[in-house]
Structure 1
Amino acid sequence: MKRRVVIGMLGTQIDAGSGTARWERWRPTVSLGMHEDFLLDRLDLLFDARRYGKLAKAVTEDIAQVSPETQVCHHDTYLSDPWDFEGVYATLHDFLRAYDFRPDEEDYYVHITTGTHVAQICWFLLTESRIFPGQLLQTSPPRKQEGVEGSFAVIDLDLSRYDRIAQRFEQQQLTDRNLLKSGIATRNRAFNRMIEQIETVATRSKAPMLLMGPTGAGKSQLAKRVFELKKLKHQLPGRFVEVNCATLRGDGAMSTLFGHTRGAYTGATSDRAGLLRSAHQGLLFLDEIGELGLDEQAMLLRALEEKRFLPVGSDKEVESDFQLIAGTNRDLHEAVGQGRFREDLLARLNLWTYRLPGLAERVEDIEPNLDFELERWSREQHQRVTFNREARAHFLSFATSIEARWSGNFRDLGASVMRMATLAKAGRIQTELVDEEVERLTRQWRSGGEPSPLEALLGERVAALDRFDRVQLEEVVRVCAKSKSLSQAGRELFAVSRQQRASTNDADRLRKYLARFDLEWEQIRESALS
């Protein structure tokens, strides 16, 4: 059997005692040798030899009386301040790094009953991180009916062994992710994976986050949900502050963001804190950050790095410790190349970057979002409205088809539901009302929106395509537009069938398919980049 080894700190108060009366007191370190069901082979005792050497010697002699087979090893451990977390952790960490662990021969425990609360926390962290390769050992004083040795308990920090704890942890993760999705049971795998990572990052990191995606894709809502999640976990005691940078122009941009002093410019009749100071200990969401001027970008970068900045008209710096989430529908890398966005600011923002797909890229999520928007309208208006079966099927058939552009993304869907719910008679949306809404949306997208990628390529020839061919070709064009080469596009499009063939030439197969419609990959890429 393996030898049992305990590492513990000398209890400078509770381990003390003299005369025969000491045997009537519970002393945690001495009690380690009193348990018949916990035979101790070695005790590594940590203490300040200069101050507590005499007490350590007495405790060692008493352990020898109750457990002669236990070897007690003394370790002179000096703590200048036993309540200084950094100092205690460093001392214990260095001790463990130099320790000759032999896990094949010995089982290790750390006695957390003695020492200051700071030391106990440090032992916990060192054990949890596996720097100490063992388990926690907690001893407790005796009850009236028990002997002087008291009781002990072994605490295993391997959470995977505790099913209920693991289940609660998993359930909390699901709850947090559900919050980030506004309670919508989304089905798009890529989107759900992105939300899973955002939940992890939001919980563990205070670094800036960059949300990319088209207008109406939900960047602002997601930023608010991130704030709510961090608020629930007591990570951000401050406010959620939001501004669309596209609305900031001229001298007012600096003042709005960084504040100003009285008399800084004409009309500045009083001091103004500015949004960055308003977001102190909270979250600042700068939507459309690509619209900020270069001067504002430079000030923002300094505020992010140093948590300090100068209000307009002031020669005294102010502080603000905020977390930043930025949103954009622009390609900021392209903006850097054009000199419209600072490369150093983008590097600071680009640690956690996520692209939110548009609604047309998440057709499987249209149905749950439809239910969410209808439920929200009913709740806000205190009036229950539902689809009849045929009307619901009709609307979803259109909403998930290639004809539905959803150029405004979730804003278009929300507005559509609001119109149908408002016009519904007796709280029921009928097929006739859906027909009107489909016509309204189609007219809106045709008159105000840009043509789809396929329409841009084929022009009037799109009308000659069967619906089956159009749906298929639309997806092929989408993949080709984002691929760096014809071969890469072919591998993605034929990922399943290529595994069933002895020889593969995905590029040639894709080239022949595109040729049926007088299209080439280079043509698609040029159209996507233009």
Structure 2
Amino acid sequence: MKKTIAVSLIGTQLDYVGKRVDRWDKWRPNVSLCSQEDLVIDQLYMLHDNHSSRLANNVAADIESISPETQVELHNVNFNDPWDFEEVYAKLYDWCHKQQFDAENNDYLFHITTGTHVVQICSFLLTESGHFPGRLIQTSPDKNNKNKAQGKVQIIDLDLSKYDQLATRFDKEHLEGNAFLKGGIQTNNQAFNQLISQIEKVAVRSRDPMLLTGPTGSGKSQLASRIFQLKKKRAMLPGEFVSVNCATLKGENAMAALFGHTKGAFTGAQKERNGYLLTANKGMLFLDEIAELGLEEQAMLLHAIENKSFHPVGSDKMVTSDFQLIAGTNKNLQAEVRKGSFREDLLARINLWTYKLPALKDRKEDISANIDYELGLYESKTGQRIQFNKEARLMFESFAVSEQAVWSGNFRDLSSAITRLCTLADSSRISVDDIKSEITRLESCWQPSDNQNALQTLDRYLSPQQLAELDQFELHQLNFVLGICLQHKNMAAAGRALFDVSRTKKSAVNDSTRLQKYLAKYGLNWQSLNN
């Protein structure tokens, strides 16, 4: 049978009652711990400081008289300041580290009734982390027990999975967090729901940078704002939410806008400015389109993330700012690194938690719910409640999930469409004629020019300088080849599709080699297309 070993601190207030006979009529935590009928403490390690040695010996003698089976060991642990978290944790940690715990043959209990609140918190942390291999136990007076000295005990097991009520509550909070991040929209896309579920966990458990990727209009800005609001609701970030579109930061003003500047730092700097990073201190900084930052700004940003400090423009004094960073981009940052336009070390720093938001066309099962969301949003902004006719709703949803609906602007396109439909609706009802007009408008907007169509794929892999050197024939040919490549899992399959006729006239098939040589003309390879 396992032995039960308890660890406790002497209670300089609660354990002290003197030596009179009436002390047995008073509740004392350590005496109570060893007085339980259903719990035999085989060994008690009682921690005390130099000033409490006499009290510890007196309490040990009383325990021996009421529980002769309990062997009391006194351990000297001195706290210069029992309210100093760092000191208390360090000394209790060191004490635990020195013990030869044998959890296989002994049950260990840490008595958390005595000591300062800091001591109790540190006891919890050491037990929860496994540095103390046992459970927590608490003693308290029991008004219903005639034996006042005995009191009662409660063992606290930190395995929360055993507490159905607590587990249910945590699950509920997790689901509420998910719903909040999704704006209350009942989404059905499984991949998106899994992505939001993990983002919720990371949002409430981590302050490390996050990177949100995805096409323009996929909801990066809205999600970043909701992550901040979720953390704010749980009192995790006391500061502000600062949102910056890096595409608007150009030239010499970019550095000053981000990091601030002193008065007279440059022409036009008539007064000192804090800058976005300092404004976001104790809060969250969202840098949308982070790939648009220059290399110099990227270098200073990396330093600010890692050291929480930076130099404002024109200042030789370091300022500090402790902010959480969320970065957003619609570009492939790995490709930007290869092109030399994005720092590899900065990408490594912000790439810990990376989430790619899917395009609207990849979440067609969520379109209906988002239509309802946009209708509600319009009502809250204007005070007007607008609804679809049944036929109109069916027509719009049918079009929205069809191949004709490319949703190149993603949720921005959908939001604009609903806004137009609501604004033009007569008698607060959207009709079939309204839908027909809106479909025509959307299809017209989604028709790209020839050059735009050719550049849709190319600008992901070639620099503006490279594109400028290609004539129209090459642009369209290369765009077509890359489009075929992106549709196939390997180079051989892509080669078969591209050389479907000429390959039949060759004695030896070399589709992969032909494609490889073609891509090499433009500094591309198969690996670069699939990163």
- Determine if the TM-score, normalized by the shorter chain, exceeds 0.5: yes
3-state SS of the aligned residue for 1:43? Answer: strand
Match of 2:83 in 1: 83
Match of 2:461 in 1: none
RMSD between aligned alpha carbons? 3.1
Separation in structure 2 between the aligned mates of residue 120 and residue 529 of structure 1, nearest angstrom: 56
1:481 aligns with 2:486: yes
Cα displacement (A) at 1:145: 6.4
Gaps of 5+ in 1: 457-476, 488-506
Kindly provide the CA deviation profile for residues 251-282 of structure 1, in whole angstroms up to 9, marking residues without a partner as x.
22122111222222222221111111111111
1:250-261 matched pairs, under 5 angstroms: 250-261=251-262
> How many residues are treated as equivalent by the alignment?
488
Kindly provide the CA deviation profile for residues 393-440 of structure 1, in whole angstroms up to 9, marking residues without a partner as x.
211111111111111011000001111111112121122211111111
Separation in structure 1 between the aligned mates of residue 204 and residue 165 of structure 2, nearest angstrom: 22
Kindly provide the CA deviation profile for residues 366-389 of structure 1, in whole angstroms up to 9, marking residues without a partner as x.
111111111111221111111122
3-state SS of the aligned residue for 2:44? Answer: strand
Separation in structure 2 between the aligned mates of residue 250 and residue 514 of structure 1, nearest angstrom: 46
Q: Give yes or no for contact 1:405–1:452 (8 Å, CA) kept in 2.
A: no
Separation in structure 2 between the aligned mates of residue 14 and residue 319 of structure 1, nearest angstrom: 45
Separation in structure 1 between the aligned mates of residue 126 and residue 151 of structure 2, nearest angstrom: 26
Cα displacement (A) at 1:482: 7.0
Separation in structure 2 between the aligned mates of residue 447 and residue 513 of structure 1, nearest angstrom: 24
Q: Give yes or no for contact 1:395–1:434 (8 Å, CA) kept in 2.
A: yes
Separation in structure 1 between the aligned mates of residue 97 and residue 258 of structure 2, nearest angstrom: 48
Separation in structure 1 between the aligned mates of residue 499 and residue 167 of structure 2, nearest angstrom: 51
3-state SS of the aligned residue for 1:23? Answer: helix
3-state SS of the aligned residue for 1:96? Answer: helix
1:113 aligns with 2:113: yes
Gaps of 5+ in 2: 459-481, 504-510, 520-524
Separation in structure 2 between the aligned mates of residue 454 and residue 377 of structure 1, nearest angstrom: 32
Q: Give yes or no for contact 2:140–2:153 (8 Å, CA) kept in 1.
A: yes
Q: Give yes or no for contact 1:373–1:414 (8 Å, CA) kept in 2.
A: yes
| Pair 1:192–1:86, CA change in 2 (3 A) | same
1:97 aligns with 2:97: yes
TM-score, structure 1 as length reference: 0.85
Match of 1:446 in 2: 447
Q: Give yes or no for contact 1:308–1:318 (8 Å, CA) kept in 2.
A: yes
1:342-361 matched pairs, under 5 angstroms: 342-361=343-362
Cα displacement (A) at 1:480: 6.6
Q: Which moved more, 1:129-138 or 1:442-451?
A: 442-451
Q: Give yes or no for contact 2:145–2:151 (8 Å, CA) kept in 1.
A: no
Match of 1:469 in 2: none
Separation in structure 2 between the aligned mates of residue 391 and residue 14 of structure 1, nearest angstrom: 75
Cα displacement (A) at 1:484: 5.3
1:185 aligns with 2:186: yes
Kindly provide the CA deviation profile for residues 138-175 of structure 1, in whole angstroms up to 9, marking residues without a partner as x.
11134386422222222222211111111110010011
Match of 1:502 in 2: none
Kindly provide the CA deviation profile for residues 109-136 of structure 1, in whole angstroms up to 9, marking residues without a partner as x.
2111112211110111122223323221
| Pair 1:512–1:350, CA change in 2 (3 A) | closer
1:59 aligns with 2:59: yes
1:316 aligns with 2:317: yes
Q: Give yes or no for contact 2:262–2:314 (8 Å, CA) kept in 1.
A: yes
TM-score, structure 2 as length reference: 0.84
3-state SS of the aligned residue for 2:4? Answer: strand
Cα displacement (A) at 1:98: 3.6
| Pair 1:309–1:174, CA change in 2 (3 A) | same
Match of 2:419 in 1: 418
Match of 1:13 in 2: 13
Kindly provide the CA deviation profile for residues 337-367 of structure 1, in whole angstroms up to 9, marking residues without a partner as x.
2221222222211111111111112111211
Q: Give yes or no for contact 2:31–2:149 (8 Å, CA) kept in 1.
A: no
- The amino acid across from 2:286 in the alignment is F
- The amino acid across from 2:220 in the alignment is K
3-state SS of the aligned residue for 1:68? Answer: coil
- The amino acid across from 2:399 in the alignment is F
1:425-444 matched pairs, under 5 angstroms: 425-444=426-445
Q: Percent identity?
A: 51
1:97-496 matched pairs, under 5 angstroms: 97-143=97-143, 146=146, 147-447=148-448, 450-451=452-453, 481=486, 485=490
| Pair 1:388–1:262, CA change in 2 (3 A) | same
3-state SS of the aligned residue for 2:446? Answer: helix
1:43 aligns with 2:56: no
Q: Give yes or no for contact 2:177–2:200 (8 Å, CA) kept in 1.
A: yes
Q: Give yes or no for contact 2:457–2:483 (8 Å, CA) kept in 1.
A: no
Q: Give yes or no for contact 1:135–1:157 (8 Å, CA) kept in 2.
A: yes
| Pair 1:483–1:169, CA change in 2 (3 A) | farther
3-state SS of the aligned residue for 1:83? Answer: coil
| Pair 1:410–1:514, CA change in 2 (3 A) | farther
Cα displacement (A) at 1:238: 0.8
Separation in structure 2 between the aligned mates of residue 283 and residue 483 of structure 1, nearest angstrom: 40
Cα displacement (A) at 1:215: 0.8
Cα displacement (A) at 1:528: 10
Q: Which moved more, 1:281-290 or 1:127-136?
A: 127-136
- The amino acid across from 2:219 in the alignment is G
Q: Give yes or no for contact 2:491–2:526 (8 Å, CA) kept in 1.
A: no
| Pair 1:111–1:302, CA change in 2 (3 A) | same
- The amino acid across from 1:159 in the alignment is L
